[in-house]
Amino acid sequence: MSIQKLKDIVRNISDFPIPGIEFKDITTLFQSPESLHELSDILYEMYKDKGITMVVGIESRGFFMGPATALRLNAGFAPIRKPGKLPYKVYEESYTKEYGEDAIQIHADALGKDDVVLIHDDLLATGGTMLAAYKLVKKMGVKKVYLNFLIELEMLDARKLFPEDVEVESILKFEI
């Protein structure tokens, strides 16, 4: 299956969640075993030689492919969630997003200094959530961090938010 075919499977929903937004619905990618296998294979091939020890998925759509990728890479999985969702001691990072203020949390014991971490989410748009996740993970003193998205909206140029030495990868890139 080609990247273009995967892009064609993504459903566009106009004016969601607010007027003027063209929402990229990735749930259609998971309805077909063929496209789900293809995504899994692509993610595995991208990171199989990077020494990943932990995959961190961002709530909630980072939970779709994050655990599956961790399994393929023989790595652990840790969730980053919104405040109040994790039952143990947490580290927190606040950030500004397009619709206001928010925060994310991770368990304080989820990552260690020897971990090579892949942070995964579904979409790179304005980049605020991933930037907060990146800062949160870096504060935990890990060895290295990679960033991955299923989809990137290139016209928003959010890659510029991240340090140049951080590898940022997206599978499907859209101009609009």
CA 167, 99, 110, 46 dihedral sign is negative
Tell me whether residue 11 is one of the annotated catalytic residues: no
Note if 98 is an active site residue. yes
- Residue 120 CA to residue 169 CA, distance in Å, equals 10
Q: Which of 34, 38, 98, 175 is catalytic?
A: 98
Residues 23 and 12: beta-carbon distance below 8 Å: yes
β-sheet bridge partners, residue 58: 80
Q: 19-42 burial by CB neighbour count: b if 16+ within 10 A, else e?
A: eeeeebebeebeeeeebeebbeeb
If one counts every other C-beta atom within 10 angstroms of the C-beta of residue 112, the result is 12
* Active-site choice (22, 38, 59, 61): 61
Would you name the residues annotated as active-site residues? 61, 98
